[in-house]
Structure 1
Amino acid sequence: MFGLKTEASFDGAHFLADYYGKCENLHGHRWRVVAYARQESLQTEGTMRDMVLDFGVFKKALRSIVGEFDHMFLVEEGTLKQATVDALEGEGFTLKMLPFRTTAENLARYFYGRLEQEGIPVAQVDVYETPLNCASYFGE
Structure 2
Amino acid sequence: MSTFRVRRRIEIDAGHRIMTHGSKCRNLHGHRYVVEVECEASHLHPSGEQTDMVVDFGFLKDEMMRLIDAPCDHGFIAASADAELLALFAPVGGGEAWVQVLRDTVAAQGAALTTDTRMGTKLYVVPFQPTAECLAKHWFEVLVAPVRKRSDATARLVAVRVWETPNCMAEYAPA
TM-score by length of 2: 0.74
Matched, 1:112 2:116: no
Residue 116 of structure 1 and its aligned partner are, at CA, apart by: 0.5
Cα-Cα RMSD: 1.6
Q: For structure 2, which runs of at least 5 residues remain unmatched after alignment?
A: 93-116, 149-155
In the aligned structure 1, how far is the partner of 2:121 from the partner of 2:33? Answer: 19
Check whether the contact 1:76–1:98 (CA below 8 A) recurs between aligned residues.
yes
How far is the alpha carbon of 1:87 from its aligned partner? 4.7
Using the TM superposition, give the Cα deviation of residue 91 of structure 1 relative to its aligned residue in structure 2, in angstroms.
2.5
Question: Hey, what's the Cα distance between the residues in 1 that align with 2:144 and 2:74?
Answer: 24
Q: Which amino acid aligns with 2:138?
A: Y
CA contact (8 A) 1:13 1:28 kept: yes
Q: Distance in 1 between matches of 2:89 and 2:12?
A: 22
Residue pair 1:123, 1:139 contacting (<8 A) in 2 also: yes
CA deviation map 1:19-58 (0-9, x unaligned): 1000000000001001111011112232212211111111
Q: Alpha-carbon deviation of 1:99?
A: 1.2
Question: Sequence identity of aligned pairs in percent?
Answer: 30
Structure 1: gaps of 5 or more residues? none
- Counterparts of residues 15-94 of structure 1 (less than 5 Å): 15-67=17-69, 68-81=71-84, 83-87=87-91, 89-94=117-122
Moved over 6 A (4+): none
- The alpha carbon displacement at 1:113 in A equals 1.1
* Distance verdict in 2 for CA 1:45–1:111, change over 3 Å: same
CA deviations over 1:43-77 (Å, ceiling 9, x no partner): 22322122111111112111222212101111100
| 2:75 maps to amino acid | M
How many aligned positions are there? 140
Query: What displacement does 1:85 show?
Result: 3.1
102, 127, 136: which one aligns with 2:162: 127
Which amino acid letter does the alignment assign opposite residue 86 of structure 1?
A
Contact 2:18–2:130, Cα closer than 8 Å, also in 1: yes
